[in-house]
Amino acid sequence: MSARTPHLTAKLQGFGTTIFAEMSQLAVATNSVNLGQGFPDSDGPREVLDAAIDAINGGLNQYPPGPGMPVLREAISRHQQRFYGLAYDPDTEILVTAGATEALAGALLALLDTGDEVVTLEPMFDSYAPCISMAGAVSKPVTLRPPHYGIDPEALRAAITPKTKLILFNTPHNPTGRVFTREEVQLVADLAIEHDLLVITDEVYEHLVFDGVEHVALASLPGMRERTLVVSSGGKTFNTTGWKIGWMCGPAAVVAAVRTAKQFLTYVNGGPFQPAIAVGLDLPDRFYADLAADLQAKRDRLMPGLLRAGFEVFPTSSTYFVTVDIRPLQPDGDGMAFCRALPHRVGVVAIPTEVLYQNKREGRHLVRFAFCKRLDVLDEAVERLQRLG
């Protein structure tokens, strides 16, 4: 743990500055190719962008309703039905949030009491551990290990104690690119039912899945709709990560509880972007297929380049990300030092996966590269990485 930060509450000691901010800043300062923070470098569908422009020009510039604009809640409801066969009442079972980040923060703050435990999978998205801590609760991580990053059933079982309140389950998974199998998702469901737990699913990468692999929505398994809070957002699906339009779907009582916390965080956000994301959610299947195919092609461009540069590269079938073991190139396996030096050595930025682990040693030698970039940008990064050898 790093040195004590003055003024900062004990709950947030050790969390410092997010790695994404640090690395994006370094990318700008060193004029590097930024394969760190996951954001695409091209715009999403024209219809979605135009809908936001029309909304601004049409005067939709004041506070939207607390739960989100009806037009968006209705589109989210149709989306859950269309892709997962799940019916949610737009008025009582859907809540629009400031990105998935606020949906997760609001849910954790609303549902956790001091001392409660949350079962997580590590590596995990960087906001999970601090939000659990801000809620006064404790994250109990189950470690996923390369090359396949599957769930060890015994480790998952062992992580559940009488203090466990909920499971926080991210699939498709950042940073590993793992899409958990139907068996793995069923195991989470079985344990949640056996121990009477709620599950928060983080499905922000639900449409960024490759190779014909199926994303299994936990809420669609028998007995799970009533104990699952689904979180997603429009950022990745429509290349609009800066708009921060997210949502949650779940049983009315759970959504009502979370609404209480959420209303005191941002209250509402992104008025004119809400109807625009609604337009996106109703786009035809072709759009969704093309989105995944485009990213799959980008993955297939970057991965061989990383192999040629000398990394051990692990398979990924979703998200924006691929993880590597740096030890063939840096035998001491210090991923943090490697990533801090990489922009200066060859002009490329990546994320040291260590920061996404509670058990830091598990991720020390692992590094994440983002492939959600134009092909010429990926080619430039690969060319630069060849100089490492």
Tell me which residues touch ligand GLN (CB under 6 A).
20, 37-38, 174
Minimum CB–partner distance for residue 127 and ligand PMP (Å) = 7
In the complex, minimum distance from the CB of residue 87 to ligand PMP, in angstroms, rounded to a whole number:
24
The alpha carbon dihedral of 24, 107, 87, 77 has a sign of negative
What are the angstrom distances between the C-alpha of 320 and each of 38, 98, 236, 243?
Answer: 6, 21, 9, 18
The residues binding ligand PMP (CB under 6 A) are: 38, 99-101, 125, 170, 174, 202, 204, 233, 235, 241, 244, 246
Is the bond into 172 cis (omega within 30 degrees of 0)?
yes
Nearer CB in complex with ligand PMP: 32/120 = 120
Alpha-carbon gap, residue 20 to 354, rounded angstroms: 13
Query: Which of 355, 350, 351 minimizes the C-alpha distance to 384?
Result: 350
User: CB 246 → ligand PMP: shortest distance, Å?
Assistant: 4
Using Cβ positions, the residue closest to ligand GLN within the complex turns out to be 38
Is residue 317 within 8 A of residue 85, CB to CB? The reply is no
DSSP state string for 331-370: TT--HHHHHHHHHHHHSEE-EEGGGG-SSHHHHTTEEEEE
Q: Between residues 32 and 240, which has the closer beta carbon with respect to ligand PMP?
A: 240
Distance separating alpha carbons of residues 385 and 367, to the nearest angstrom: 14
Question: Shortest approach of ligand GLN to residue 20 CB, angstroms?
Answer: 3
Residue 261 three-state SS = helix
The type of residue at 372 is C
To ligand GLN, the closest distance from the beta carbon of 213 in angstroms equals 20
Name the binder of 233 from ligand PMP, ligand GLN, none, CB < 5-8 A by kind.
ligand PMP
Q: Closest approach of Cβ 116 to ligand PMP, in Å?
A: 21
Q: Based on CB atoms, which residue is closest to ligand PMP, 18 or 92?
A: 18
Q: Which does 20 bind (CB under 5 to 8 A by kind): ligand GLN, ligand PMP, none?
A: ligand GLN
Q: Which is nearer to ligand GLN, 69 or 104 (CB)?
A: 104
Q: Which is nearer to ligand PMP, 238 or 382 (CB)?
A: 238
- The CA distance from 193 to 224, in Å, is 8
Closest CA to 141 of 159, 115, 165, 163: 159
CB closer to ligand PMP out of 32 and 319:
319
- Picked from ligand GLN, ligand PMP, none, the partner binding residue 99 (CB below 5 to 8 A depending on kind) is ligand PMP
Binding partner at 83 among ligand PMP, ligand GLN, none, C-beta below 5 to 8 Å by kind: none
